Amino acid sequence: MEDYKSIFDIQAEVGLTKQIGGLKATEELVELCHIGRGKYVLDVGCGVGLTACYLAKTYGCRVGGVDIRKKMIDWSNERARREGVEDRVEFRVSDAQDLPFEDDLFDVVICESVVALVQDKQRVLNELARVTKPEGYVGLNESTWIKTPVPTEWVELLASDLSDRGQPLTSDGWVGLLEGAGLRDIVTRIHETNARSESSNFLKRYGWGELLRILSRSLSLYFRSPAYRNIAKEAASVPKNLLEYMGYGIYVGRK
Ligand SMILES: C[S@@+](CC[C@H](N)C(=O)[O-])C[C@H]1O[C@@H](n2cnc3c(N)ncnc32)[C@H](O)[C@@H]1O
pLDDT score, position 1? 54
> Phi/psi at 4 (nearest 5 deg)?
-80, 135
Report CA torsion sign: 222, 225, 231, 234: positive
Lowest mean pLDDT among 7-16, 37-46, 49-58, 95-104: 7-16
pLDDT at 209 over 80: yes
Taking the CA atoms of residue 89, residue 94, residue 97 and residue 98 in that order, the dihedral angle to the nearest 10 degrees is: -90
pTM: 0.95
Give the model's pLDDT for residue 231. Answer: 83
For ligand 1, pick from 11, 68, 98, 112 the residue to mutate: most ligand atoms within 8 Å of CB: 68
4-24 CB burial, b ≥16 within 10 A, e <16: bebbbbbbbbbbbbbbbbbee
DSSP 3-state percent helix, strand, coil across the chain (nearest 5): 45, 20, 30
Mean pLDDT, rounded, of the chain: 92
Cα-Cα-Cα-Cα dihedral sign, residues 64, 70, 75, 80: positive
CA–CA separation, 60 and 37 (whole Å): 5
pLDDT the model gives residue 89? 98
Taking a C-beta distance cutoff of 8 angstroms, is the pair 112, 139 a contact?
no
Give the mean model confidence (pLDDT) for residues 104-117. Answer: 97
HSE-up of residue 199 (Cα within 13 Å, Cβ side)? 2
The dihedral through the CA atoms of 121, 124, 130, 135 has a sign that is negative
The answer to whether the CB of 239 falls within 8 A of the CB of 136 is no
Distance between CA atoms of 244 and 255, rounded to whole angstroms? 33
In whole angstroms, give the CA distance from residue 194 to residue 145. 14
The protein residue with its alpha carbon nearest to ligand 1, atom 12, reads 45
| Per-domain boundaries in the chain | 18-145+167-202+241-254
Mean pLDDT of 13-39: 95
The pLDDT of residue 96 is above 80: yes
CA of 135 to the centre of ligand 1 (A): 26
Q: Is 6 in the pocket of ligand 1 (CB under 6 A)?
A: no
183 Cα: distance to centroid of ligand 1 (angstroms)? 22
Residue 239, pLDDT > 80, answer no
From the CA of 45, how far away is ligand 1's center (Å)?
4
- In short, whether 68's Cβ falls inside 6 Å of ligand 1 is yes
The pLDDT confidence band at residue 122, using thresholds 50, 70 and 90, is very high
Pairwise pLDDT comparison (195 vs 115), residue with the higher score: 115
CATH of domain 18-145+167-202+241-254: 3.40.50.150
Range scoring the smallest mean pLDDT among 54-68, 128-142, 233-247 = 233-247
Report pLDDT digits (tens) over 160-189. Answer: 777 677 789 999 999 999 999 999 999 999
Q: Note whether 42 and 64 are within 8 A (CB).
A: yes
Most confident of 116-130, 156-170, 191-205: 116-130
Q: Best substitution site from 9, 17, 74, 165 to test ligand 1's pocket, by max atoms within 8 Å of Cβ?
A: 17
Q: 15 CA distance to ligand 1 centroid (A)?
A: 12
